[in-house]
Amino acid sequence: TTTTTTAGREEDEEYEDHRSNGETDANSRRRKKRKETFYTEGSALLTRARMRAAKFSLQRARERVLADSKNDKSNNNREKEEKETRATFFNRRRKECANLKRSRFAPVSSVIGDSRPLSAVASLLFEPDEGSVNGLMLASSIKNENDAVEEDFHTESLGVVLSGSWTGAVKVWNVRNSVNKENEDKEEQKEETMKSSDVNISCSSAYTIRASEERITGLAFSPLIGATIDNEDLPAFASASMDGTCALFNFSGKKLASLVGHVGRLAKVKYHPSGTSIATAGYDKTIRLWDANTSQEIFCQEAHSRPSYDCAFNGDGSLLFSTGLDSYARMWDLRSGRCLWTMKGHSKGVTSVSVDVTNSLCVTGGEDNLVKVWDLRKQENAYTIPAHSRLVSSVSFEPKRGCWFSSSSFDGTIKLWSAIDFSLLACLEGHEGKVMDCSLGRAGERRDFPGLIASAGYDRTLKIWK
């Protein structure tokens, strides 16, 4: 009785204190309710990651707005007629698609990648000068496995391609433009050689990494790969494998860390545009975000009711997309952790996803042989393409302007589609059997080598298309 009386007095005194401070009963109840927490709070690492994603996305958006205003200002200073309008913007994209449709694609290089089928590929082009942006790698020389170069040829490094196979090996390939030494001093002959550079493009193995004892399922370059050349402590690329681990390597091929946490098979791996974090999708139905520098797990999200198969970031780094074998794709807000949209439309598992540079369109490919285009602003299915006769293994937007996108399939073809009217621009045939993966190299500002398409096949070949 004494205890009850004392407790009652304390409550009365607290109540009188609140009343004396002018606080009403309703405010008091709301204040007490706010103190109660009905969810598990995230870690400090997660909070920092969310803040980092928010700041990075705002900075990217600001740069895009300033670039647009700068272009408008410079055009106004010249002539009003030269001002770029929405109509001329779409005309530019239509012209690029038309030029692509008239082009003839052929594999300029085809090499046997391994003794077993290739399962993943990633490509990156070098920039021709030091004015590279967004972390693109500068031009540099990469020697072959024998640490030597043929005597009769001078090699210009155009880019790097990664390939992963069922043996668990990751190979680094050097894409080169070979010019005969006898013609080096003759500018006219050199210009002719550059015009016909597609004939002289070669793909040679730089080195091989034993990344895993199981099959390689995904590969990704770091956006900060330019900084990794001088700093060997920074990861340059990542590989995912069926043993459930994601391995990080520097540019020399040294293994720096392993991301361990998934239960079962790991499907795909993607880098955040800032290069500070890595996303993985696994057969344990989760997508996970990792700190690229410390290898710590930032968060684990149960994303699908069946295995998660692919993931991708938008250009601003504010959104993370995931696909699952439950036939759904989802859009997640990295700043809040909320699922903003569930994309419903595929009748079977969704195997791949890609977002364009304008952050307005998203494409998915699935086991139902379809490629679906999604409008991110209206949050609706914009178009459905009956793209292939077998499952779609990968989809990828052209990384510079987003005027077109590619799809590869187990029917042995790679198809290029317009991002404007979604019409077929080109069909690339050359693999004998399934095309396991396809990667589009960033075009940059090179005129002699505007871009490449790298594909990995079940026939064990790595092909470079131009």
Q: What DSSP letter does each residue of 396-433 carry, written as one string?
A: EE-TTT-SEEEEEETTSEEEEEETTT--EEEEEE--SS
CA angle 392-136-424, nearest 5°? 30
Alpha-carbon distance values, 109 to 128, 207, 394, 462 (Å) = 21, 18, 21, 8
Which pTM was predicted?
A: 0.81
- Judge whether residue 23 has pLDDT over 90: no
Best-predicted range by mean pLDDT among 5-14, 41-50, 114-123, 447-456? 114-123
- What is the identity of the amino acid at 154? H
- Please report which confidence band the pLDDT of residue 5 belongs to, taking 50, 70 and 90 as the band edges: very low
234-239: average pLDDT: 92
194-200: average pLDDT: 46
Mean pLDDT check: name the lowest of 25-29, 126-130, 273-277, 439-443: 126-130
Of 57 and 153, the one with more pLDDT: 57
- Please state the separation of Cα 349 from the chain's center in Å: 20
- Judge whether residue 34 has pLDDT over 80: no
- Please state the separation of Cα 27 from the chain's center in Å: 49
370-385: average pLDDT: 96
Determine the Cα–Cα distance for residues 256 and 374; give it in Å rounded to an integer: 37
Given CA atoms 225, 229, 232, 233 in this order, what sign does their dihedral have?
Answer: negative
Nearest to 351 by CA among 374, 319, 324, 320: 324
Alpha-carbon distance values, 386 to 256, 365, 416 (Å) = 42, 10, 13
- Judge whether residue 409 has pLDDT over 90: yes
Whole-number average pLDDT of the chain = 81
Count of residues making up the chain: 466
Determine the Cα–Cα distance for residues 310 and 280; give it in Å rounded to an integer: 8
- Judge whether residue 129 has pLDDT over 60: no
Given CA atoms 257, 296, 230, 449 in this order, what sign does their dihedral have?
Answer: positive
DSSP 127: B
Nearest to 166 by CA among 209, 119, 122, 210: 119
Best-predicted range by mean pLDDT among 18-22, 53-57, 147-151? 53-57
Determine the pLDDT at residue 139.
36
- Judge whether residue 152 has pLDDT over 60: no
Query: Do 303 and 295 contact (CB within 8 A), yes or no?
Result: no
- Judge whether residue 290 has pLDDT over 90: yes
